[in-house]
Structure 1
Amino acid sequence: MSSATLASPIVVAFERRRSELLAQRRRATLLYGGLLLVALLVAAWVSEVSPARLADGLPRFGEYFAQTLPDLRWQHLFAGPRQEGSIAYWFYRLDQWALLLLETANIAAFATLIGAVIAFALSFLAARNVATRPWLAAGVRRFLEACRTVPEIVYALIFVWAFGVGPLAGILAIAIHSIGALGKLFAEVIENADLGAADGVKCAGGNWVQQMRFGILPQVAPNLLSYAILRFEINVRGASVIGFVGAGGIGQELYAVIAQNYYEEISAIVVLIVLTVALIDLGSERLRRGLTDGGRA
């Protein structure tokens, strides 16, 4: 009997099984795709989203956006702040807005610092590979989940009610959310660390704190710093939003001009926020890359 004759039943069985698996996969794809489509349709119905409503709202959105655009005129573009049609007239309150933007950045920076320090301490307790007790790691992880599950603006509303309008409410709100977000990221970085150095410190008589300090921290420090800087970028944007509920910063001013329909001031503040966030993003990205590359080297 030739080898081709022996191989033929095997090939036929293989092709039959392959066809069955492909058919099964297609049926599963159609089933889950149909369920997803149904879920999306139900969500759209509950949310009152429809093509007709979107079509009606888009022109109004364009009209509102057009109202916020400044009336710039080329012949007066670089004139003084008293001349209508100039850039200086558009940003006539630039000094006040710059201070509010600085306050927003300070809120984000201080909140990130508080959140990163607390998250750093908790992350070693939450990391399963180095935690002293499994139940302790589970409890700390649930605490971190609670911190990051509630949106920052909800925390801000609570703290504004408790401490009054101002930056303190924003700092506390962003700090709590940062604890939850950074704690999770820090713990995952620690869980990916090599335990060989920590075991060496333990064999030399070092306690748990010394194992973390000399065995784990040198490996994970660049990544921890990188995540903290990335969180600062996110918190700058968050600090701009929570000002809407009275938590200080440029967001509070933006809410005021929106409420009073000062259209050109709305666009001026939005442009300043975008430029500020873009500059911070570019600077922190370069710093993050330097830290990461330095850690790898």
Structure 2
Amino acid sequence: MATAIPVLPEPQARALASAYAAAVSVRRWRGAAVLVTIILLALVSGYLAHVRPVTLVTNIGNFGSFIVRTIPDFSSGNLLADMRAWYWNFPAWLGLLGQTILIAYLGTLMGAVAAFALCFVASANLARSRWSRVGARRLLEFCRTVPDIVFALIFVIAFGLGPMAGVFALAIHTTGALGKLFAEVVENIDMKPVEGLQATGASWIQTVRYGVLPQVAPGFASYALLRFEINVRGAGVMGFVGAGGIGQEFLVAIRNFYYSDVSAILLMIIATVIVIDLVTEQVRHRLIGFEGAR
């Protein structure tokens, strides 16, 4: 049986079409205004930061020439010997690279534990009081606002040269970064299990343990692994201020213009980060149930 489709009267249809066109026009003007504002802010920021396209184009060759100088000369008839000469200090560099990874691991572990302890207090839906939430939030902001290299320099002055300064610096910065991410994960949970536990008289700790933790555990682990990748790169810079790892050897090579050593160490760092990224990516995908990792 055919169903008749009602047709609006012509004046009403024109009014609705005009209202729709006006709404679309307003949205387009708003989008254009936002885009223009972003472009203007970018231009002003570039001007104040002395970003000059002409200078970039003029001096881009210096960057390329430096990269070319770091590549050693290889001969087809003596390739193996050239590779050995390029990585002449491989055992020592490998040991320092391993130290860098351990610094990143320990700093990530300590920071993740501290962030785990603070995130529930810092979340709006679980905080017992407004003041405890504000205090936890401000503490996390302080930890992640101060650059980790500054923390490393302070700890080097306090405790002397060595990996311990790098571990503590990464741990503090990781606490601030992961604490915010963990708190946002907690704030996005389903509150029905929490309300059910509270209705049965469960304590705050029991509510977190049985109503919140099962929901947030995969997200916490995923963010912690991601932070470990970031900390491996960060730990590689800690050696610049004497906080251990391969960064100090890398800085020595740059300062003394040991070009082949610069490229050798840099390639080791890049390869390590790639391997860690691939491994942790698979682990993260399995934790969150991503089908592409299977």
Same fold (TM over 0.5): yes
CA distance in 2, matches of 1:197, 1:25: 40
How many aligned positions are there? 286
CA distance in 2, matches of 1:23, 1:207: 54
How far apart are 1:72 and its partner, in Å? 1.5
- AA matched with 2:72: P
CA RMSD of aligned residues (A): 2.0
Q: Deviations over 1:165-195 (max 9, x none)?
A: 2211111111111001111111122222233
How far apart are 1:4 and its partner, in Å? 9.2
CA distance in 2, matches of 1:224, 1:4: 54
CA distance in 2, matches of 1:91, 1:23: 63
Identity %: 46
Alignment match, 2:47: 45
Query: Out of 7, 10, 14, which is 1:8 matched to?
Result: 10
Give structure 1 stretches of 5+ with no counterpart: 80-85
Which deviates more from structure 2 when the two are superposed, residues 152-161 or residues 194-203?
194-203
Alignment match, 1:20: 22
Change (3 A) 1:265 1:204: same
Which deviates more from structure 2 when the two are superposed, residues 106-115 or residues 277-286?
277-286
Alignment match, 1:95: 91
Alignment match, 2:268: 272
Query: Out of 130, 154, 159, which is 2:155 matched to?
Result: 159
Q: Deviations over 1:72-115 (max 9, x none)?
A: 22211123xxxxxx211111100000010011001000000100
CA distance in 2, matches of 1:109, 1:4: 68
How far apart are 1:203 and its partner, in Å? 4.1
Q: Deviations over 1:196-252 (max 9, x none)?
A: 333444444432112211222122212211211111111101111222222211111
**Quick check: 1:226 aligned with 2:228?**
no
How far apart are 1:67 and its partner, in Å? 0.3
CA distance in 1, matches of 2:287, 2:173: 24
Query: Out of 236, 239, 242, which is 1:243 matched to?
Result: 239
How far apart are 1:38 and its partner, in Å? 2.4
Alignment match, 1:77: 79
How far apart are 1:125 and its partner, in Å? 0.6
Give structure 2 stretches of 5+ with no counterpart: none
How far apart are 1:25 and its partner, in Å? 3.3
- AA matched with 1:68: T
- AA matched with 1:14: L
CA distance in 2, matches of 1:248, 1:190: 35
- Length-normalised TM-score, structure 2: 0.90
Change (3 A) 1:215 1:60: same
Say which SS state the counterpart of residue 77 (structure 1) adopts: helix
